[in-house]
Amino acid sequence: MRRSAADTRRRILDAAYGLFWRQGFLRVSMDEIAARAGLTKRTMYQHFRSKDDLIAAALSHSSELAIERLRGFPRPAQGDELIESFFGQLAAWADKPRWSGAGFTRVVVELADLRGHPARAIARQHKRLVENWLADALASTQVSSADDRAREVMLLMEGAMALMLIHNDRTYAKAAARAARTLIQRS
């Protein structure tokens, strides 16, 4: 049975996505991705010109899925409830087996010396979309200076993720939630 180009591309992306998030973006080889997808490297290069293009495509797809999930996130009437739910979801995500932090942050760290890499632009755009979503959500709960508060909450979220990963301690999400609640209550 012959596969469509779209099915093959999806297979490659699925294989790459799983390996990138488990092992890191730079450590995974095209040979490993081809083996995981059950394809030849030649077939992979028919769909993606380079590993960099594959990383960019995997990140773009991941961003679309993540933003779609955010759009379905409940919008409580109170800012405190929003913050509690937001950081509660973060802690629950971090409790999943093999959690390895935020892929968008990880890829930028891995590619820190490659400023022009397309994955960095995709990660930057993704984080901007999350911050914009958060600003809109905070504004809908009547939090003043919602853009500023969203930026501060993003800092707390990123810091909590890094520290949860470093210490393997999910209570950093609770500490970040307390700090975020204090920020929005003072505004």
3-class SS letters over 130-169: HHHHHHHHHHHCCCCCHHHHHHHHHHHHHHHHHHHHHHCC
Q: Decide: residue 50, CB within 10 A, 0-12 exposed, 13-18 middle, 19+ buried.
A: exposed
Compute the radius of gyration of the chain from its Cα atoms: 18
Tens-digit pLDDT profile for residues 27-62:
999 999 999 999 999 999 999 999 999 999 999 988
Domains and CATH numbers, the chain: 1-48 (1.10.10.60), 51-186 (1.10.357.10)
Give mean pLDDT, residues 167-174.
93
Query: In whole angstroms, what is the distance from residue 133 CA to residue 115 CA?
Result: 26
Q: Closest by alpha carbon to 153, among 47, 46, 44, 79?
A: 79
Q: Is 0.85 surpassed by the pTM of this model?
A: yes
